[in-house]
Structure 1
Amino acid sequence: MIAAASEPLRVGFFLVPDFPMMTFGAALDPLRQANRIAGRSLYKWIFVSTDGAPVHSSAGVPIPIDYSIADMPACDLVILCAGLNHIKAYKPAVFRWLRSLHGLGCVLGGICAGQFLIAKAGLLEGRRCAVHWELLAAFQEEFPQSVASNAIFAVDGPFITSSGGTVTLDMMLYVIAASKGRDIADAISDQFNHPEIRQQNSAQRLPAQTRFGIRNPKLLEIVKVMESSIRNPVDLQVLARRVQLSTRQIERLFVTHLGKTPSAFYAGLRMARAHDLILQTDLSIADVAQICGYMSVSRFGRMYRAQYGNTPREVRQGGLTRRSAVN
């Protein structure tokens, strides 16, 4: 990782079309604030794209670019900022460029979906990286040799990755503390009304009790097991023994607190995972079905259509819009 340095550190931001503005701002603005607080240039930054042309964010905001990957000057840290359309940067020239930067000793950062590019360049095998919860399953399927984590950010050797959104601020405060000292990182956090600098292993998502409004501890335990057992669904009788309740009692808990039967709730979790994989990977529909615990592709297709109104094939071929936590 970047060590303390006396000279201004140069940071390059490689922007992929449809990158998320919140994540980009959370990476860039701490550097500006560091310069302001210090009263001198601690950091300099440049914007880079594949060909040097302006890049539009997912909100349609155009960002002028300083350099292409072919003429970019040396940087201490290059941060790749990408969203759900990260595959737009899946180009041999980009992968060669990343491997070259790595060979020169440049620290590489991936924010939101930028780590997909680093992994696709073959640089994250055996490396720990943070991936947004919405993209985690897709990343794990595409890059099984990487150690994907649902931590808010991760540092592993010359790589630093953020799961995106506001937690990118915590990642950048880590970078600033490592390169310019904890005092200035704390001062930036204070300026941004950010009362606590979160550590790498902090949770990405709201806890299940908040997301689903669950207060019953036994129901909460069951939901956590369901969320962690998508590929191999756990039978209701097994869940009942785990929490020492009857299946009838569990069914009443689900209907009372969540308005659904256990099977319907579990199916919803599995379908949400399937929807992510259908839209974010090139996995076959049969593979997606298996990953989500369905041995029958036809049954999987019926369940998916009942949930989303279209078959998996129609959704993938039509490029239908989806809700997104990262875009």
Structure 2
Amino acid sequence: MTSPDTPEWLYPRPDLPPVLSPAQADVTVNLWLLPKFSMLTLYCLLEPLRVANRFGRALFAWRLYSSDGEPVVASNGVRVDVEAALNQAPIYDNLFVVASYEPEAAAGAAQWAVLRQVAAHGGLLAGLETGAFILARAGLMEGYEVALHWESRPAFIEEFPMLALSEARYRFDRQRLTGGGGASSLDLMMAFIEREQGANLVAAISRQLVHSRPAAMPDAGRNGSVDERGRFVLTAEPAPGDFRPRSVRRAEAIMEANLAQPLPIPEICRRVGQSQRQLNRLFQRYAGETAKGRYLSLRLDRAYQILADSRASVTQAGLAAGFLQPAHFSRAYRARFGESPSTTAGRGR
């Protein structure tokens, strides 16, 4: 490894280096792409590696794999070619699981065996967005903290209540690296490069990408954060770009914090200091539905996240979203999503 004081980290080569083979690079980063993965996440993982190679040395190569060796279609519809099927590659040192929607649809015993192989050799396992679900189902996250996208937390808590969740946007815990995906993947990859090559190189990459690394980046939700039990906690300030009235923001935050045991709308009105008529008027203006309708939408969205991302049953998802009567849950769910809860659950599995 190059000394942290090496001057070569100061100035990049003017020419772009060729894509390196594993034989040419110090480190090969292996990425397993699951169907409907986030293209933004993939770009944020690869661009720092490409820029790192401009600083005078052949540092990083990368290889893309799919479950079956066929090209993978990202969530934005872009088709990405891969090197090979995951179980056909000799991977031992690191493996990044890049997943988003319906992560388990293309994951099975053959792929879990590769994950366990990497773990057995002491390699690094990384889970981006819902990639952490795959690592957890393979039994490889016990004793490690997990960082997730805030939308995925309810489903993860429902299925893996004994695993510890971090409120950070990404978490480097020994030989496990997890994160919420999207733009936070850039900082996650910077942490990986720093471990491999030192902080000075990361500083140089940041300058090239015109990117500032924050000291701490908590995993915030829409108007607050999530506590250790996955409950929404209201913060005093609105999220950037949220220009809704404070009473609407506070009411929605209270709804978010009470999805499993819904509160009566008059109680929410009392807590935010608005009449029900006035609160409904504000919700109609800023959310396009009444306060009651918005509450129902949030509960159904929670059920959808649990069914799509976990192995929870339809009954469990309904209860987690505050539906005590299965028939009522099914009717409301179909009206919102155009399909039954069991259909969503089956597709996710």
Quick check: 147-156 or 265-274, which moved more?
147-156
SS in 1 for 2:46: helix
Of 214, 219, 222, the match for 1:203: 219
Of 73, 78, 102, the match for 1:57: 73
Q: Distance in 2 between matches of 1:168 and 1:251?
A: 39
Partner residue in 2 for 1:231: 260
Task: Name the amino acid aligned to 1:202.
Answer: P
Note the residue ranges of structure 1 that are not aligned, 5 or more in a row.
321-327
| Equivalent residues of 2:32, 2:98 under 8 A apart | yes
Change in 2 beyond 3 A, CA 1:289/1:246: same
Q: Distance in 1 between matches of 2:150 and 2:104?
A: 18
Q: CA-atom RMSD, angstroms? A: 3.1
**TM-score, length-normalised on structure 2?**
0.77
Matched, 1:267 2:296: yes
Partner residue in 2 for 1:78: 95
Matched, 1:152 2:181: no
Of 337, 341, 348, the match for 1:308: 337
| Equivalent residues of 1:89, 1:117 under 8 A apart | no
Task: Name the amino acid aligned to 1:304.
Answer: Y
Partner residue in 2 for 1:284: 313
Quick check: 245-254 or 276-285, which moved more?
245-254
Deviation at 1:210, TM superposition (A): 5.2
SS in 2 for 1:110: strand
Of 8, 32, 43, the match for 1:25: 43
Partner residue in 2 for 1:139: 156
| Equivalent residues of 2:149, 2:219 under 8 A apart | no
Q: Distance in 2 between matches of 1:104 and 1:87?
A: 24
Task: Name the amino acid aligned to 2:107.
Answer: Y
Aligned residues: 312
Deviation at 1:266, TM superposition (A): 0.7
SS in 2 for 1:135: helix
Task: Name the amino acid aligned to 2:213.
Answer: I
Per-residue Cα deviation, 1:47-66 (whole angstroms, up to 9, x for no partner): 34456x24323235232315
Partner residue in 2 for 1:295: 324
Deviation at 1:110, TM superposition (A): 0.9
Q: Distance in 2 between matches of 1:297 and 1:137?
A: 20
| Equivalent residues of 1:212, 1:258 under 8 A apart | no
Task: Name the amino acid aligned to 1:120.
Answer: R
Partner residue in 2 for 1:325: none
Note the residue ranges of structure 2 that are not aligned, 5 or more in a row.
7-24, 225-237
**TM-score, length-normalised on structure 1?**
0.81
Identity of aligned residues (%): 29
Per-residue Cα deviation, 1:260-317 (whole angstroms, up to 9, x for no partner): 3321111111111222333344433222211100111112222223323444346556
Q: Distance in 1 between matches of 2:99 and 2:248?
A: 37
| Equivalent residues of 1:16, 1:55 under 8 A apart | no
